[in-house]
Amino acid sequence: MERLDKLLAGTGRWSRREVRTLVKEGRVLVDGLPAAGVEQKVDPAASRVQVDREALAVGGFTYVMLHKPRGVLSATEDYRQQTVLDLLSPDLKRKGLFPVGRLDKDSEGLLLLTDDGDLAHRLLSPKRHVSKVYRVWLDRPLGGADQAAFAAGIVLADGTRCRPAGLKPLGDGREALVTLHEGKFHQIKRMCASRGSAVCRLKRISMGALTLDETLEPGAYRLLTGEEVAKIGEKI
Ligand code: URA
């Protein structure tokens, strides 16, 4: 059993002070009844907690959507550099979350953090081909011939063959959407390089059924809704 304020603050959405206000205002329901106080004990795995009638995915595992900013490492800890875990509240940081897959230090966009090892494994398994969509900004435009090469499977400079991938040039081709079904080291940068174009900026937009919430500023995060958790689970 956990205190209600600890549980709600652990979602990263409210500070303990804000939780106190929410409870005082009667906006927090536990199993359908207004919470008695912030010290009320709830069972994270079994109690149904709602704030403003919205059910919270507080039970069991934790799933966080982070808008990763550029310049931060997709790692749990590093002695010298800031990691994505350093962006989370202390309550969330203590939960032992880890990033599901990596984005390069200079890449940005959707990063899922969780303590659900099974879901992470399924999302990343090469056998399941979960698609990831990225927006890329390029120094030289890519076009129809590059699109065909991506669809056929790019062979990287070191001879590695990539799976067929999607390339959708936008505007004059200096921007594009790239869809991958695997995750090799610096894959998009190397695929674009093999077509004579350098990636200037790279942003992940989606991963499977999960799409970056564009209201999240770089560095901001929120818990997944129950609906999002269900959606990513069911598609893989
Ligand atoms: N491809 C890359 O080159 N970098 C990323 O961060 C993700 C995909």
Q: For 62-118, how does the pLDDT look when each residue is reduced to its tens digit (9 = 90+)? A: 899 999 999 999 999 888 999 999 999 888 888 889 999 999 999 999 999 999 888
Sorting pLDDT into bands at 50, 70 and 90, what band is 235? low
User: Which two structure tokens, joined as six digits, stand for 87?
Assistant: 């962006």
The CB density around residue 143, as the number of other CB atoms within 10 Å, is 13
**pLDDT > 60? residue 193:** yes
Looking at residue 195, its pLDDT comes to 98
**pLDDT > 90? residue 44:** no
Can you tell me the mean pLDDT for 178-202? Answer: 97
CA 194 to ligand 1 centroid distance, Å? 14
DSSP alpha helices (H): ranges in 58-205? 90-93, 117-124, 144-152, 187-194
Can you tell me the mean pLDDT for 42-48? Answer: 76
Sorting pLDDT into bands at 50, 70 and 90, what band is 51? confident
Residues with Cβ within 6 A of ligand 1?
103-104, 107, 186-189, 202
CA 22 to ligand 1 centroid distance, Å? 41
pLDDT 10s digits, 109-137 = 999 999 988 888 888 888 888 999 999 99
Q: In this structure, which residue's CA is closest to atom 4 in ligand 1? A: 186
3-state SS, residue 166: strand
Sorting pLDDT into bands at 50, 70 and 90, what band is 12? low
Can you tell me the mean pLDDT for 38-50? Answer: 82
CA 236 to ligand 1 centroid distance, Å? 22
104 is catalytic: yes
Nearest to 1 by CA among 37, 66, 47, 70: 47
| pTM of the predicted protein model | 0.79
Burial class of residue 45, CB neighbours in 10 A (0-12, 13-18, 19+):
exposed
Q: Which of 104, 116, 158, 172 is the catalytic position?
A: 104
Q: In this structure, which residue's CA is closest to atom 7 in ligand 1? A: 103
User: Which two structure tokens, joined as six digits, stand for 106?
Assistant: 């200079």
Burial class of residue 20, CB neighbours in 10 A (0-12, 13-18, 19+):
middle
